[in-house]
Structure 1
Amino acid sequence: MLIQLGIMGLLAAILPLTMVWVSSDANKYRKLAAVTLFLTFDLIIFGGFTRLTDSGLGCPDWPGCYGHANPFQAHEHISAAQSAMPTGPVTVFKAWIEMIHRYLAMGVGVLIVSLMVIAWLRWIKSARRHARFAPAMPTLLFLFVCLQGAFGAFTVTMKLQPIIVTCHLLLGLGLLAMLTWLHVRQREHPALSPTAVSLRGPALLGALLLFVQLALGGWVSTNYAALACTDFPTCHGVWLPQMDFENGFTLWRKLGMTADGEYLPFPALTAIHYVHRSFAFVVAAVLGWLALRAMKISGMQVVGRCLLAALAVQLCTGLATVYFNWPLAIAVLHNAGAALLVLILTMLNYKTRLAPHGAPASIARPPTAY
């Protein structure tokens, strides 16, 4: 089974690797970093789709499905589970969603291993070692994706325990941020005005606030609290609804249960939803101000406009999720918007910290081959 799963991971990576190899881009390492970033972004969106369709236990074991490498081979077991519980966590549809998510994750893992190996080869063979090819970041990415894979296994074996699933989500977004940093590092950057440096602190603050909001959003999603408040701007018709913060924010507990093993009371779900909703206004205010500041700085206008647009879309999809009773498509878009904010804010932080003087002339034309 493990060999078959390994083959599936290689197959998932063959197409993007082939695209990079036949690409006309002179810097194929940069192209590989871009493709890996793109597929990781897609993987996060598909992971949100997996979670939102309740397919996380579509195959209740790991890494295979009932001990097999694909749902075809496990069809008998899946059909039996579906017959016993037609609306349960195991169905043919959910099993395929879960396994496709795993195949894509293995493919991304292969691409990250490729980035690490190529970086080390370049670093060892190159007489003039350039910072953009330093292997530290690709190696850290490899270790990070191994940790992410472990939490993917824990997600299944610990039956969707909220803190585990939330950490799995945050690690995925962290992986996206690191790949964004690696990709942006490969590109040439024009010199920025000295005022760009003044955004270093605000950009870092925005990233920290966004991380907190992502953790709160993940906690809402993994506790299925998205519809704990179905009206806006009030909640249950009042500005301050009844809330149970103690049970709502007890981290180590089973899904839908309190730490004492009782069913999670509805006021706990309300507290989870309300805190995420309220903190969103703080994050929106800071990121909106940051975007407007960036738009006034030469060389940062594009990233500032992108940040402002992504923030507006994210607020709209969040409100639409409540108003339209949590439609799947909008909920997936809300997850995608969170990933997009991470990507853009990482680029903004890079520009304020590592690119104020532009790309050194000695590496303006990187090697053309792997």
Structure 2
Amino acid sequence: MNDTVSSDFSPQNAFHSNAADSAISKRFRRIGLITIAAVYFLILVGGIVRASGAGMGCPDWPTCFGRWVPPTDESQLPPNYHEIYAERGYADTEFNPLKTWTEYVNRLIGVSIGGLILLTLLYSIPYLKRDRTVFFLSLSVFLLVGFQGWLGSAVVASNLRPVMITAHMVTAFLIVCLLIYAIARSQQDTMGRLEIGALSPRFKTVLAVAMGMTLLQITMGTQIRESVDVIATTFNQGERHLWREEFPIIFYIHRSFSSVILFTNLWLVWNLVRRLERGHLLRNFGIGLGALVVAAIGTGVTLDRLGFPAFVQPIHLVLANLIFGTQFFLFIALRYSENPRFTAAARVD
């Protein structure tokens, strides 16, 4: 990685202690945080689309039933629209206004987030003179969003193949991680002033292990979700109480592994809460991490015991992504807090 800020290190080129309060830094941080929140919201909406079976509510892309604004009633469609879409490879296409507009709103939110990503890129331009990595991270996110748009069209063209849907979700996950890194790096002077000496020497190692566990758990969850898509099709989205009997063995591994994840993250939270002062940035994130892990396990238990309710699936998905995002931010913050190349720059008056 090219750490521009660490090369040619001098007080004139380093961020000063008040850089976090500068207009450029505050503006980039603000738009970045809004964009991150919006992407998480889009992941939630995408989960709702998938769980409700609304993914083919619009059987074409970028239009919806051939229109930029979809119809609200079947009478607005050609009488032979079933045959039209059957010839395109989408047999048994039935207009459902709720599913159509659910998918359409999902697309509108995606377009809006594209605008936020563009603003994030524009606001990162001043970092070309401060820390070029921030700009190139923002540029990477912008390019990935373009790829994500193409992937969205490929998902529709594939008639919702589970592997394509998974690729779509993984790309969203990567976009969030790059945004988190860009925002954290842009605030590295603030990170450099964080006092973390009281934390256990093993904290960063355990945090890295916890991140690996979360990725493994998300990977298993993705495979389960692909199986659920097949099961849902078999049962025609009904009789959810019977789905559990068809789950693959990985579901039970995923369920048991959550206990290991719980205790590992609680150890991290305990260290942050016990060893850092009240109001410390990382302490607050630690409390949030604990709440997210407990909530994710709670939604997992709900899915397991209450017949896989559709409204819980997207919540469980978003919580898993938020857990890794929080862990990832903590890891980056620790890196900048303990690295003298950055802390020295932050302490220059």
| TM, length-normalised to structure 1 | 0.70
Structure 2 stretches of 5 or more lacking a match?
1-22, 235-242
Aligned to 2:119: 114
Decide whether the 8 Å contact of 2:220 with 2:254 is kept in 1: yes
In 2, the alpha carbon distance for the partners of 1:303 and 1:216 equals 25
Are 1:286 and 2:264 counterparts?
A: yes
Secondary structure of residue in 2 paired with 1:191: coil
Residues 25 and 60 from structure 1, CA distance in 2 versus in 1: closer, same or farther, beyond 3 angstroms?
same
Q: Secondary structure at the match of 1:223?
A: helix
Preserved CA contact (<8 Å) 1:169 1:218 = no
Indicate the larger mover: 24-33 or 212-221: 24-33
Q: 1:275 & 1:155 partners in 2: Cα distance?
A: 29
* Cα deviation code 1:269-288 (max 9, x no counterpart): 33242232233233333333
How far is the alpha carbon of 1:90 from its aligned partner?
4.4
Corresponding residue for 2:151?
151
TM-score if structure 2 supplies the norm length?
A: 0.74
C-alpha separation in 1, matches of 2:176 and 2:289: 16
What does residue 251 of structure 1 align with?
none
Tell me the equivalent position of 2:210.
206
Give the equivalent residue in structure 2 for 1:99: 104
Whether contact under 8 Å (2:58, 2:103) holds in the other structure is yes
Letter in 2 for 1:102: R
Deviation sequence 1:188-218 (CA, Å, 0-9, x none): 2332234557433322222222112112212
Relative to structure 1, the CA distance from residue 344 to residue 69 in structure 2 (aligned partners, 3 Å threshold; closer, same or farther) is: same
Is the CA contact (8 Å cut-off) linking 1:57 and 1:89 kept in structure 2? Answer: no
1:311 aligns with 2:293: yes
Greater fraction helix: 2
Post-superposition shift, 1:316? 0.8
Write the letter of the residue equivalent to 1:192. E
Cα distance in 2 for residues equivalent to 1:277 and 1:33? 34
1:349-360 aligned within 5 A: 349-356=331-338
Q: Which one of the candidate residues 190, 193, 196 is aligned to 1:193? A: 196
Measured at CA, do residues 274 and 73 of structure 1 come closer, stay the same or move farther in structure 2, by a change above 3 Å?
same
Deviation at 1:103, TM superposition (A): 1.3
Counterpart of 2:285, as a letter, is: V
Distance 1:151 1:116, change over 3 A: same
- 1:161 aligns with 161
User: 2:5: which partner in 1?
Assistant: none
Q: In structure 1, what is the equivalent of residue 68 of structure 2? A: 69
Assess if the C-alpha contact under 8 Å between 1:48 and 1:335 holds in 2: yes
Which structure carries more relative contact order (alpha carbon 8 Å, separation 6+)? 2
Change (3 A) 1:356 1:43: same
Q: CA deviation at 1:72?
A: 3.1
* 3-state DSSP of counterpart to 2:247: helix
Distance in 2 (alpha carbons) for counterparts of 1:164 and 1:227: 17
Match of 1:324 in 2: 306
Cα distance in 2 for partners of 1:226, 1:305 equals 37
Residue in structure 1 matched with residue 255 of structure 2 by the alignment: 277
Please state whether the residue corresponding to 1:180 is helix, strand or coil: helix
State the SS of the aligned residue for 1:312. Answer: helix
Q: 1:305 to 1:115 in 2, by over 3 A?
A: same
Classify 1:213/1:150 alpha carbon distance in 2 versus 1 (closer, same or farther; 3 Å). Answer: farther
Of residues 50-59 and 217-226 in structure 1, the stretch that sits farther from structure 2 once superposed is 217-226
Structure 1 residue aligned with 2:224: 220
Summarize the Cα distance change of 1:225–1:70 in structure 2 as closer, same or farther, 3 Å threshold. Answer: closer
What is aligned with 2:315? 333
Q: How big is the shift at 1:119?
A: 1.7
Classify 1:295/1:55 alpha carbon distance in 2 versus 1 (closer, same or farther; 3 Å).
same
Contact residue 227 and residue 248 of structure 2 kept, 8 A: no
Q: Which whole-Å CA distance do the structure 1 matches of 2:317 and 2:274 have between them? A: 29
Give the Cα separation in 2 of the matches to 1:224 and 1:66. Answer: 27
Alignment of 1:230-249 (within 5 A): none
Deviations 1:250-298 (A, max 9, x none): xxxxx87xxxxxxxx9987332422322332333333333333333442
Please give the secondary structure, in 1, of the residue aligned with 2:57: coil
Q: Secondary structure at the match of 1:277?
A: helix
Instruction: Give aligned pairs, total.
Output: 300
Displacement of 1:123 in angstroms is 3.8
Structure 1 residue aligned with 2:131: 131
Residue 122 of structure 2 aligns to a residue whose secondary structure is helix
**Within the alignment, does 1:302 sit opposite 2:281 as a pair?**
no
Cα pair 2:72 2:97 within 8 Å, conserved: no
Whichever residue aligns with residue 221 of structure 1, its letter is: R
Aligned to 1:231: none
Structure 1 contact 36–111 (Cα < 8 Å) conserved: yes
1:119/1:133 contact within 8 Å kept = no
3-state SS in 1 of match to 2:338: coil
In structure 2, how many angstroms separate the alpha carbons of the residues matched to 1:285 and 1:226? 33
Alpha-carbon RMSD across the aligned residues, in angstroms, is: 3.5
The answer on whether the counterparts of 1:54 and 1:94 sit within 8 Å (CA) in structure 2 is: yes
Whether the 8 Å contact between 2:58 and 2:64 is mirrored in structure 1 is yes
Structure 1 residue identity aligned to 2:254: H
Alpha carbons 2:25, 2:186 under 8 Å: kept:
no
The change in CA–CA distance for 1:104 and 1:286 in structure 2 (over 3 A counts) is same
